[in-house]
Amino acid sequence: MGVAIPHAKLQGYTGFFIAVGIQQGAGIEWNSLDSLPVRLIFMIGGPDDQQTEYLKILSQLTRAVKEEERRKKMLKAQSANEVIALFEGI
């Protein structure tokens, strides 16, 4: 689907964060399961001792990016606010 979701568990962090990268061009070579270039990257980081919360975040994010229309809108977004709006309420 052109999506990568790398993650890191970090000591000393008390909350989670997600950084989003969007490549509107041809994509980035990635060691992906389908060997296709990646255009959407969601980096999840957070505490190393909150596995259940991490899995909830990963599950919600995965469900959201499986929606083709949402991915298409992300690739056309012109601002961070447009991207954030696509994920509000999920």
- Return the DSSP state at 57: H
Q: Where are the beta strands (DSSP E) in 1-90?
A: 3-4, 7-10, 17-22, 40-47
Cα 23 to chain centroid distance, Å, stands at 13
**Catalytic entry in 5, 7, 30, 45:** 7
Q: Is 54 a catalytic residue?
A: no
Which residues touch 18 (CB under 8 Å, ≥6 apart)?
42, 43, 44, 45, 57, 61
Residues marked active site are found at 7
